[in-house]
Amino acid sequence: MIPLDKVKKIIERYIDLEKELSTGKVDAKLLAKKSKEYSDLKNIIKSAQDYINFEKSQKDLNLIIQDNKNDREMITLAEKELKDLQSDNEINEKKLKIFLLPKDKDDEKNTIVEVRAGTGGLEATLFVSDLFRMYEKVCSKKGWKIEIISISKSEAGGFKEIIFSVKGENIYSYLKYESGVHRVQRVPSTEAQGRVHTSAATVAILPEAEDVDIKINDTDLRIDVFRSSGPGGQSVNTTDSAVRITHSPSGIVVTQQDEKSQHKNKAKALKILRARLYESEKLKKEKQRSTDRKSQIGTGDRSERIRTYNFPQGRVTDHRINFTLHKLTEFLNGEIHEEMNENLRLKDQDLKLKALN
């Protein structure tokens, strides 16, 4: 049961924000933040009010039942209403528990996505390009903007690695469930015997970090510049425009050469470095707070196998929640990705609720 004082605070905050926003005198710098908070509270306010009124409503219905012992029709109606009231109260309680769960402050951040070929040779690079196209379509449906940061192509026409940023609303809260090892089972075009091969790609979802999120000391950086080269060793630039940044304390190395400008390559490399350092610190803190990693889905180890894409059977299975969709083509086209994400989000919430009990 949720303490009523916590639920009352939700209602009080909603009323206060409604009054404040209606004046039209909110500081412009805080308007977006307060409007978002008000919108979130508006979605839960009815559940909060009904939860507060539950005891009184239940008592009133029990009195009706007691006072009308000879009226079978009245008792039947009141008992049905009481049953519905108790069922609604259970639903409202779960909604409120989810609303009161500690918020991940990164959920609203923009995101950097890194997809790399794993085991499987050239077939793995083709799978990376499939995953990228899937994310590209998902982002397009949601109105999110993609910007390619770095790309390395393979001889087969796939990608050895692709790094891109995604900008928009509530991106990390959605994409964080994609972090981990994705496995594909299919017959490669080069396979003469028609045998099914297994390949893999790793996906890393990094919340984009700002200067205020993580401090990088210039003295901790070693910056090397060199000439960038294109596919097959073709020269892209005759100047030293490519940049390699090594962060000494962590050992993280970021190389960027996609831009012709050394300045732009350095800026992109620093953005990736900042995100990787931020993620590293975040995972470290989460492990310190909780030794039971089973209570978390959205921030799992990227070395964990999370999903299998089986082409012969036309299915995609998420192993964390044992959930299968028999619509692989539609999934890779971004058409039913939302269904998988919703199931992951609900399971994540259930695990966190159980951890609170």
Residue 69: per-residue pLDDT: 85
The upper half-sphere exposure of residue 267, i.e. CA atoms within 13 Å in the direction of its Cβ, equals 6
Nearest to residue 224, comparing CAs of 253, 245, 249?
A: 245
Predicted pLDDT of residue 317: 97
Radius of gyration of the chain (CA): 26
CA distance 178 to 203: 7
Closest CA to 351 of 278, 295, 270: 295
Quick one: DSSP state of residue 210? Answer: P
- β 242-247/197-207 pair status: unpaired
Residue 120 DSSP code: S
162 contacts 128 by C-beta, under 8 angstroms: yes
Give the separation between CA 251 and CA 256, rounded to whole angstroms.
16
d(CA 251, CA 165): 23
Candidates 1.10.1060.10, 3.30.420.40, 3.40.50.10310, 3.30.70.1660; correct CATH number of 111-207+299-356?
Answer: 3.30.70.1660
Residue 153 to residues 114, 121, 161: CA-CA distances in angstroms? 14, 13, 7
Please tell me the CATH code under which domain 218-286 is placed.
3.30.160.20
Q: Where in the sequence of the chain do the CATH 3.30.70.1660 domains occur? A: 111-207+299-356
Length of the chain as a residue count: 357
Domain with CATH 3.30.160.20 in the chain: 218-286
pLDDT per residue of the chain (357 residues) written in tens, 0 to 9: 888 999 999 999 999 999 999 998 888 888 988 998 899 999 999 999 999 999 999 999 999 999 988 889 999 999 999 999 999 999 999 899 888 887 888 888 999 999 999 999 999 999 999 999 999 999 999 999 999 999 999 998 899 999 999 999 889 999 999 999 999 999 987 676 778 999 999 999 999 987 667 888 889 889 988 887 654 344 455 567 889 999 999 999 999 988 888 889 999 999 999 999 988 888 777 665 554 445 556 655 567 899 999 999 999 999 999 999 999 999 999 999 999 999 998 888 888 887 766
Residue at token pair 């009245």: 74
Nearest Cα residue to 277 out of 206, 227, 344, 228: 206
Q: Hey, what amino acid is at 167?
A: K
DSSP one-letter code for 235: B
Alpha-carbon span 179 to 206, nearest angstrom:
9
The model carries a pTM of: 0.74
Using alpha carbons, list the distances in angstroms from residue 223 to 150, 226, 228, 253.
18, 10, 15, 10
